[in-house]
Amino acid sequence: MSQGTSFAPSNLADILERVLDKGIVIAGDISVAVGGVDLLSIRIRLIVASVERAQQMGIDWWRADPTLSSQKALENSAVHVEQQRQILEFENTKLHLELENAKLKAELEELRGEKVKRSKS
């Protein structure tokens, strides 16, 4: 290999640093058509930049993505926990009311039984 065609690690690191610092945009369109009818269209847009450079360009979509943002994931987790708490509280109230209803039905049946006994006497 000649010295001009090989990349030393420091040269590669310098190139990567420049690309990330300034950013690079790669764009392309691919279309597949048969008889003048587009069957497939693909638009490719690729931006390679550092996080700081991307933010300067107004790109920060990763902040709202819960799979990438730990803060958003924590917020979603807290919302999920609160929803589960509310469901359990509702189920607890429902069971409490069902138990109270069963007790009242039993008391009613008992009172009806006593009334029947008194009317027969």
> What are the residue ranges spanned by the domains of the chain?
1-59, 64-121
Q: Pick the more confident residue, 55 or 116.
A: 55
> CA-CA distance, 7 to 4, in Å (whole number)?
8
Going by pLDDT thresholds of 50, 70 and 90, the confidence category of residue 48 is confident
Say yes or no to pLDDT of 23 above 90: no
> CA-CA distance, 7 to 61, in Å (whole number)?
34
Mean pLDDT value across residues 113-117: 79
Backbone angles phi, psi at 37, to 5 degrees: -110, 120
Torsion of CA 77, 80, 81, 86, to 10 degrees: 160
